[in-house]
Amino acid sequence: MLSIRKIGVVGRTYRNLNRYRQILAILFKYGFGDLIELLKIDQYIEVGLQLISRNRPKRLEKLSRAERVRMAFEELGPTYVKLGQVLSTRPDLIPIDFTQELSKLQDKVPPFSFNEAKMTVESEFSKPLEELFVFFSETPIAAASIGQVHKARLKDGEMVAVKVQRPGIKKIIEIDLEIMLHMATLVERNIKEMALYRPVKIVEEFARTLEREIDYTIEASSMERFARHFLDDPKIYIPTVFRNMSTEHVLTMELMDGIKVSETDRLEEAELDRKKITARGADFYLKQVFDLGFFHADPHPGNIFILPENVICLIDFGMTGAVDRQTREDFVDLIDSVIHRQEARVTQVLLKLTHWEEEPHIRRLEKDVADFIGQHLHKPLKDIEIGKLLNNLLELASRHRLMIVPDIFLMMKTLTMVEGVALALDPDFDMIAQAEPFIKRVKFERFYPGRIAEDMIQLGSQMLQFAKQFPKDVLEITRLVRLQKLTFKMEHKGLETMLATHDRVSNRISFSIIIAALIIGSALIVISEIPPLFYGISLIGIVLFSTAALMGIWLLIAILRKGRL
């Protein structure tokens, strides 16, 4: 379990001060000094801020804010790179332009030493490395922020890939998460506009995601789950996991000696069929998404190998996605209604697949949907790129402040990446045509007799549960009323501005009445010649007239400042 402590009193003792100061310095460097000032961090780490260079950040005016965030994350290190990668799949938490920019983040970290890898493996199995492996390469074949992979040979002669977790990475992550949580708390407290994105929730969800990623037993389970699903498919191969040689920090799997799907020259040399590979790979992912509802969510070319006879092999199952049957059906309805140019239905399904804080303007949304369909459906379906279509659909949803559910976004992003890999292999590839059989199957499955019977049974069960629960709820409400414990809470939204205006108007009217009363009273005093007199005029009347004049000028200035008389 990751241990994250909130920084409060601990912060005043300057715990992790060096790392906090380093983070703040990088944020200053990339032009976020204004943000740090707004957070009022100096109340918590006074000495830290005094030690930060106050030089002007380097000129980054030509870069967007999203680009500067991405660059800052890259420099901040592994935890922040992972944060950016996670956020790139969460359009419900951050704006769509940020998700697109953060999706460019890649792990670029140097490998750790062989001795550290050896110590980790020996610590996990309580045995010397020589007793576990006949051979263990000193140089890793791949390195990332969480761990690195070494080639090795088991005692039975099997060649394997051993993923070893980076030493001390858990402690590094915990320190960074503590600082993130502290800064997120300050954002919610001091910056109202950014508080809408719920930064504390983002950090908490990120912590849960990282907790899963640093546990290699979860990745092993995902690999075994995929292997079971495609056990009888000769076109697909999933590496074997060696459970007896795997732990939370070490993952041992079958070493795959294939060709990366991006190495097209080698594919040609090996006389492999690129068109067949493209069709098989697309079908493989479409089956994951539409049939299984459980999919490999990181299909970049480095994770896809091609074996002899055009067999597709996947590695790195650290990121997976899952969508339930109802969500898959809704997504199919969305694609189907777009293809058939049904603007009203597209709007309806889009609203079903999203959530929002403020009710969207339906007519305006329908108009934008019509424009979107006109933009993409003016050409034959074979010329439409599903990736561009889905990305533009996401941008449309973002403009109307509709938040896509994370699992759906991850599914859409995965399909977009798969299409990109497919087009690199076969420029004539048609993703919509390839997906058509899967879409039809999902559409018609809901009308199968067995499915209808299942839905009716489920509906009947829900109705029965409602019938059993409803009398209990009524009795509970009656009891609360009898005990005078039932209270109704009414929340008025949007009245604050109107009430403030009414308050301002009433104040001005009251002020005007007081001024009028002073003028009338002063006139009566002057007419009555109430002493003391100054050149025959009541001095008290003069003072009251002057007071009324000053108050009148004050009121006039206040009105003119608002721009309205």
Element (H, E) at 496: helix 495-528
Task: For residue 344, give both structure tokens.
Answer: 């009203």
CA dihedral (347, 352, 353, 358) positive or negative: positive
Question: Residue 299: phi, psi to the nearest 5?
Answer: -85, 45
- Please, are residues 239 and 223 in contact by the beta-carbon 8 Å criterion? yes
Distance set, CA 370 to CA 128, 340, 364, 374 (Å): 66, 12, 10, 6
Helix, strand or coil for residue 319? coil
Nearest to residue 320, comparing CAs of 190, 389, 229, 397? 229
Nearest to residue 290, comparing CAs of 255, 333, 247? 333
Ordered DSSP codes for 149-218: EEEEEETTS-EEEEEEEPTTHHHHHHHHHHHHHHHHHHHHHH-HHHHTT-HHHHHHHHHHHHHHHT-HHH
Sort 390 into a burial class: Cβ within 10 Å, 0-12 / 13-18 / 19+.
buried
Distance set, CA 302 to CA 104, 235, 237 (Å): 15, 19, 16
Q: How many CB atoms lie within 10 A of CB 521?
A: 15
- Of the CA atoms within 13 Å of residue 294, those in its CB half-sphere come to 12
Element (H, E) at 94: none
> If you ran DSSP here, which 8-state letter would residue 358 be given?
S
Ordered DSSP codes for 373-418: HHHHTTS-GGG--HHHHHHHHHHHHHHTTPEEPHHHHHHHHHHHHH
Helix, strand or coil for residue 529? coil
Beta bridge partners of 180: none
Beta bridge partners of 294: 322
Residue with tokens 């909130």: 6
Element (H, E) at 403: strand 403-404
| Rounded distance between C-alpha atoms, residue 456 and residue 510, angstroms | 67
Sort 59 into a burial class: Cβ within 10 Å, 0-12 / 13-18 / 19+.
exposed
| Rounded distance between C-alpha atoms, residue 97 and residue 61, angstroms | 17
- 283, 298, 333, 430: the catalytic one is 298
Question: Residue 119: phi, psi to the nearest 5?
Answer: -60, -40
Active site includes 298?
Answer: yes
- Please, are residues 337 and 346 in contact by the beta-carbon 8 Å criterion? yes
Q: Write the single-letter amino acid at 369.
A: V
For the annotated catalytic residues, the residue numbers are 298
